[in-house]
Amino acid sequence: RQEQYRALRDVPAVTRDGIAVGLQLNAGLIVDLSHLTETGAEGVGLFRTELQFMVAERMPTAAEQQILYEAVFEAVGDLPVTIRTLDIGGDKVLPYMKSLEEENPALGWRAIRIGLDRPGLLRMQLRALLKAARGRPLKIMFPMVATVEEFVQAKRIVEREKAHLTRHGHPLPADCRLGVMVEVPSLLFQIDEIAAEADFLSVGSNDLMQFLFAVDRENRQVANRFDPLSAAALRAFRLIADRAQAAGTPATVCGEIGGRPLEAMALIGLGFRALSMSPASIGPVKAMVLGIDAGAVSAFLEQELARTRDGASLRPALAAFAERH
Ligand code: PEP
Ligand code: MG
C-alpha cells in the first residue's frame, strides 16, 4: 500500500470525470513541512500557528514570531500556505499565559475571541506575518469566527497593520487574502454574508461537528453518537459548498474528515474541490479521487439526501456505492 501511494506522488488528483481536487497538508511545526515533497501535496491548507507557541518556553516576541513565519515560507517555497491565527484557549493552553478558569472552555474565551479582546496579541502576530511574507502571497484565516462582525473587525486590524507597515517603508505581501474558518454553526445561518466578506472559507469540521451535534470532540463516550456522514452533517457541508460557490468564494475542508477516503468522497460529491489533511492521508485520498466519478457521487448523494426520512447515516449506502464503483 505505502509503495502504491508513493507511486502516486506526482500523479495529479483528478477524478475520472476530469474534476481536479486540490490535496493539501495540515501542519503546525516546521518538521511537518518536510511531508510536502514526500506526499506531493499541493500546499499547506492549514498551518496551526499555536503549535509553535505551545512548544515555546515563553511568549515569542514579535521578532521571534517573524523568524518562525519566515521559516515556514522558506520551507514551503513556491507552494501556497494558509496560515491560521492563534487558536488558543479551549484545549490548547499556553503554559506561560494566564488562562481563565472556565466551566466550558470549548465554548469559552478562545481563538479569535482572545484576538479581538486582546488586539495587542493579534496585532503582533499579524504584523510578524505580514513582514515575513514580504513580496510573496499570504493567506491568513481566523479560527472560531461566530459572526460576520468578528471577521470584519479582524479584517480591519489587518488593514491597519498593512497601513502601519507601509508608513514605515516595509514591503507588503504580494497578495494578501483573508479567510474564515467555518467551525461555529452560527455561520451556517450567515453563510451568504460571510462568503461575500471572505476571500475564502475553510471548514473546520472537527469543531463544526462538535458544536453542531453538541458532542465533545475529545470524549470517546459520546463520539459514536453522531456521524459526519449523517444527513444533517452532509446538508450542513452542502450548504457551505453551494453558497460559497454561488458567491464565487473558494471553500476548502481542513478538518480530519477530509483525510478519510469515504468522507472525502462525499465532500467532493457535495462540491468541495480542495481538502487539507494530515500527511498520511494524502495517498489514500488521492487513490480514491483517481477512482471516482464526481458527477456520479454527486447524483447518488442528492438522491439519498432527498430520500432519507430518519436522518440516519448515509455511511452504509456510501460505502456500498464506493464498493460498486
Ligand atoms: C477543525 O476544527 O476542524 C480544525 C481544523 O481546527 P482544529 O482541529 O485545530 O480545531
Ligand atoms: Mg477548530
Burial 206-237 (b: 16+ CB within 10 A, else e): ebbbbbbbeeebeeeeeeeebbbbbbebbebb
Å from CA of 223 to ligand 2 middle: 16
Ligand 1 nearest-atom number relative to CA 183: 2
SS3 28: coil
Distance from the CA of 205 to the center of ligand 1, in angstroms? 7
Q: Mutation test of ligand 1: which of 24, 26, 29, 48 has the most ligand atoms closer than 8 Å to its C-beta?
A: 48
pLDDT recorded at residue 149: 98
pLDDT at residue number 131: 98
Which pLDDT tens digit goes with each residue over 136-178? Answer: 999 999 999 999 999 999 999 999 999 999 999 999 999 999 9
Atom 9 (ligand 1) nearest CA: 48
Q: How far is Cα 210 from Cα 144, in angstroms, rounded to an integer?
A: 12
DSSP for 191-230, please give it: HHHHHHH-SEEEE-HHHHHHHHTT--TT-HHHHTT--TTB
Compute, in angstroms, the gap from residue 7 CA to the centroid of ligand 2: 32
Position 3 scores a pLDDT of 85
Predicted confidence at residue 67, as pLDDT, reads 97
Instruction: Count the alpha carbons within 13 Å of 308 in the hemisphere toward its beta carbon.
Output: 19
Mutational test site, ligand 1, from 24, 87, 218, max ligand atoms within 8 Å of CB: 87
> Residue 275 corresponds to which cell in the numbers above?
481538502
Which pLDDT tens digit goes with each residue over 171-211?
999 999 999 999 999 999 999 999 999 999 999 999 999 99
C-alpha cell at 184: 461555529
Pocket-testing residue among 53, 207, 253, 254, ligand 1, by greatest number of atoms within 8 A of Cβ: 207
The pLDDT value recorded for residue 157 is 98
Q: Looking at residue 2, what is its pLDDT?
A: 82
Ligand 1 binding pocket, CB closer than 6 Å: 46, 48, 87, 183, 204-207, 254-255
Q: How many CB atoms lie within 10 A of CB 137?
A: 14
Q: Which three cell numbers stand for residue 203?
A: 471548514
**What letter would DSSP give residue 59?**
P
188, 153 in Cβ contact below 8 A?
no
Q: Long-range CB contacts (< 8 A, 24+ apart) of 161-170?
A: 161/123, 161/126, 161/127, 161/130, 162/130, 164/127, 165/127, 165/130, 165/131, 170/130, 170/131, 170/134
Low-confidence ranges of the chain (pLDDT < 70): none
Q: Which three cell numbers stand for residue 257?
A: 474528515
